[in-house]
Structure 1
Amino acid sequence: MIEFRTQGFNPYATKYSPFFDSRLAVSAGANFGLVGNGRLYILNLTANGIQVEKYFETQDCLFDTAWSEQHENQILTAGGDGSIKLFDIGVGEFPVAGWQEHGREVFSVHWGLVDKSRFLSNSWDGTVKIWAPERKESLMTLPVHSCVYSAQFSPHHPDIVTCVSRDSHLRVYDLRTKASAQNHMTLAIPIHAPPKVPAPGYGQGSVGPTECLTHDWNKYRDSVLATAGVDSVIRTFDLRSPAGPVNLLTGHEYAVRKVSWSPHLSDVLLSASYDMSCRVWTDGSNVEKGGNGAGFGREIGRMDAHTEFAMGVDWCLFGAEGWCTTCAWDERVLVWDVREFMRPT
């Protein structure tokens, strides 16, 4: 495990470059993002540890970042002042482009993995916006009517967009459909619906729907997603039968801030939580008996090195299947091998 300190700034997100296995980015804010500047770190993994390649200062906290899928040196940021900025590592200290249409904080940004000419943003103003980097205005606005915490393009289909929000729904949009009264929405799945296979303890102490803070697409199964949020439960869904979650993965003690499916293993995902732990899970889909894995999901490892809220997690796309990076409000970015923390089966 190697460590980098973001002295004076509390990280919100960390992302590996899709072009280089030794480069990663961290978005952060002073004073836990409540007041003060933001900072975007570009870090390099070297034989002498993690070194700063460059950093950019902003006037407000940066809640998220996303590498361009078109240009190896360009990266997006999501600002607390409602702005989206595009920085270029080789061009000075100021952004090379910027957009300001959101009315509230931009909570995340995501670059399309299939159609790499577009990216999206989501905001506390209750909208998701689709953008092209060469245009000053957004291409499309998807009204959600609830604070949106996470939105993504599908990694399998260029026109499928999903988001999760304060009202505890997972929404699916198909941009190919006509802009009817549904505004391209094809599904609105209540995240707190009962699971398809009754889970031990389900319904005990339930407080009803709570805010969903994060979601991620499975990289190998084009209908499977995971969600998580304030109630500390990770849920997996299959869009082919959206009546309820396939699995409930329980174990975190506080809200789950980030989930990320492995780019190497179809059944493994990683989570970061306000309980300061980062945990490794299997959804059970590799178990021979049980079909889609319902009822077999479980925790298979955990890392407890952070000493404050764990906020971000990302897998390295290159090399062996275990390397990842995590960040937390303890002003630390850690790079570690998940396999060292997995319990033997």
Structure 2
Amino acid sequence: MNRPEPPSVLQTPGFAHYNLAWSPFHPARLAVASSANYGLVGNGRLHLTSVGIAPGIPGGQPTVNLDKQYDTQDGLYDVAWSEIHENQLVTGSGDGSIKLWDIMINDLPIRAWHEHTREVFSVDWSNIKKDQFISSSWDGSVKLWSPDRPRSLTSIQAHSACVYQALFSPHQPDIIATCSTDGTLKIFDLRMPTYALTTNSFTNPITAAALTIPASGTEILSLDWNKYKPFTLASGGVDKLIKVWDCRMVKLAPETASQQVQQVGGVCESQMAGHEWAVRKVQWSPHRPDLLASASYDMTCRVWSTNTPDGRGSLVYIHDPHTEFVVGCAWSLYQEGVLASCSWDCRVNVFRV
């Protein structure tokens, strides 16, 4: 197992971080969603940074510089770059709103939506249907959006409790996965909606899950699709474990009270233990199918390999300079082995694994 070199650090005093995202268009651009007072109350801030690699130095450490920032009336919990416009990105806020920003404009967002009734905890832009993104909220719903439409395209009552994260499949454009405080992972097919019989189906669509995975007896805080294996998901949560799931293994569940037949199952291929507190974020490498990064409340960011004979996975790297909860991590899309982490210590670290 490798120990970390000193990271490159960006400090944002007074604003604790919640997540960060690399631009799909520009290798150097990194956006960070932050909140004052640890996101409990107060303003939010969107930070736009540039990350550079020292020229002529193979394996040299990156440098991080703050380019621009935008203030919001409530805390920001997540950020996602547009897949169709290189200068645009979307954020999810504690007041239930979603805002679209253009980094060529200095002050206000260019569009805003407010349909969620509680905190928007995740946003994700489709890399296949590039004119769509989704949001998930503590109100239990997931909504599908187009940046050109004034209202959501579809609303899914995904869970009965908080939906911590919702992500498009990178392999199939109409498939999304969600995770929740109810301890389940769910997969939805947007092509197969069903409607509640007791409500107005045009205003209250409810989509039945194509697959439900009972992943944990505690809250699931994060998930991610493997970029090379279409049916493989990773999850992390309050039980401090990272689990890798094969979603092809399903069975038919008995009919529910609403007479909706659902599939349940999912086989846990590997389970990685090592974090001392809850796992707040998991993300597969975009460059290797067996490499997975995680961020935890134990103040570390870790890298794991799933390529082990016993199927348990192995810890290959620990990054531990943070002094508070590490809540976000993201692999660089262009520089293999470069990882960014963000924390409640108001620091963004960029380092090589």
Structure 2 length as normaliser, TM-score? 0.86
Q: Tell me which of 306, 310, 321 is aligned to 1:283.
A: 306
RMSD: 1.4
| 1:255 matches 2:271 | no
What is the 5 A alignment of 1:326-345?
A: 326-338=341-353
Structure 1 residue 50: Cα displacement: 2.0
| 1:91 matches 2:105 | yes
CA shift digits 1:203-246 (9 cap, x unpaired): xxxxxx10100000000000001001111101110111134311
Counterpart CA distance in 1 for 2:107 and 2:12 is: 18
Residue type at the aligned position of 1:167? D
> Percent sequence identity over matched residues?
48
Other-structure match for 1:266: 289
What is the 5 A alignment of 1:136-151?
A: 136-144=150-158, 145-151=160-166
Other-structure match for 2:255: none
Q: Tell me which of 114, 122, 139 is aligned to 1:108.
A: 122
Residue type at the aligned position of 1:298? S
Other-structure match for 2:78: 64
Per chain length, whose mean CA-contact separation is higher, i.e. which structure has more relative contact order (CA < 8 Å, sep 6+)? Answer: 2
Structure 1 residue 180: Cα displacement: 4.8
| 1:227 matches 2:243 | no
Of 174-183 and 88-97, the range deviating more from structure 2: 174-183
Of 150-159 and 170-179, the range deviating more from structure 2: 170-179
Which secondary structure state, in structure 2, belongs to the residue aligned with residue 245 of structure 1? strand
Residue type at the aligned position of 1:160? I
Across the two proteins, how many residue pairs are aligned to each other?
314
Structure 1 residue 191: Cα displacement: 0.2
The 3 A distance-change label for structure 1 pair 296 and 211 is closer
Q: Tell me which of 191, 203, 214 is aligned to 1:176.
A: 191
Structure 1 residue 99: Cα displacement: 0.5
Are 2:221 and 2:279, in contact at CA under 8 Å, matched by a contact in 1?
yes
Other-structure match for 1:197: none
Other-structure match for 1:198: none
Which secondary structure state, in structure 1, belongs to the residue aligned with residue 194 of structure 2? coil
Q: Tell me which of 304, 307, 316 is aligned to 1:300.
A: 316
Structure 1 residue 29: Cα displacement: 0.4
Are 2:247 and 2:267, in contact at CA under 8 Å, matched by a contact in 1?
no
Other-structure match for 2:171: 156
Structure 1 residue 178: Cα displacement: 3.8
CA shift digits 1:88-135 (9 cap, x unpaired): 000131000010000000000000011111000000000000001100
Other-structure match for 2:262: none
CA shift digits 1:295-335 (9 cap, x unpaired): 2412111111111000110010113x200110001110010
Which secondary structure state, in structure 1, belongs to the residue aligned with residue 37 of structure 2? helix
Structure 1 residue 183: Cα displacement: 1.4
Other-structure match for 1:3: 9
Other-structure match for 2:146: 132
Which secondary structure state, in structure 1, belongs to the residue aligned with residue 294 of structure 2? strand
Are 2:182 and 2:218, in contact at CA under 8 Å, matched by a contact in 1?
yes
Are 2:19 and 2:77, in contact at CA under 8 Å, matched by a contact in 1?
yes
Structure 1 residue 185: Cα displacement: 1.6
Structure 2: unaligned runs, 5 residues or longer:
1-6, 55-61, 197-205, 250-264
What is the 5 A alignment of 1:65-84?
A: 65-84=79-98
Of 9-18 and 296-305, the range deviating more from structure 2: 296-305
Other-structure match for 1:189: 213
Are 2:10 and 2:66, in contact at CA under 8 Å, matched by a contact in 1?
no
Are 1:312 and 1:326, in contact at CA under 8 Å, matched by a contact in 2?
yes
Counterpart CA distance in 1 for 2:152 and 2:194 is: 16
Which secondary structure state, in structure 2, belongs to the residue aligned with residue 246 of structure 1? strand
Structure 1 residue 184: Cα displacement: 4.1
Residue type at the aligned position of 2:292? L
Structure 1 residue 35: Cα displacement: 1.2
Structure 1: unaligned runs, 5 residues or longer:
193-208, 339-345
Counterpart CA distance in 1 for 2:176 and 2:350 is: 30
CA shift digits 1:188-207 (9 cap, x unpaired): 11003xxxxxxxxxxxxxxx
Counterpart CA distance in 2 for 1:299 and 1:324 is: 16
Q: Which runs of 4+ in 1 moved over 4 A?
A: none
Which secondary structure state, in structure 1, belongs to the residue aligned with residue 67 of structure 2? strand
Are 1:191 and 1:244, in contact at CA under 8 Å, matched by a contact in 2?
no
Of 304-313 and 44-53, the range deviating more from structure 2: 44-53
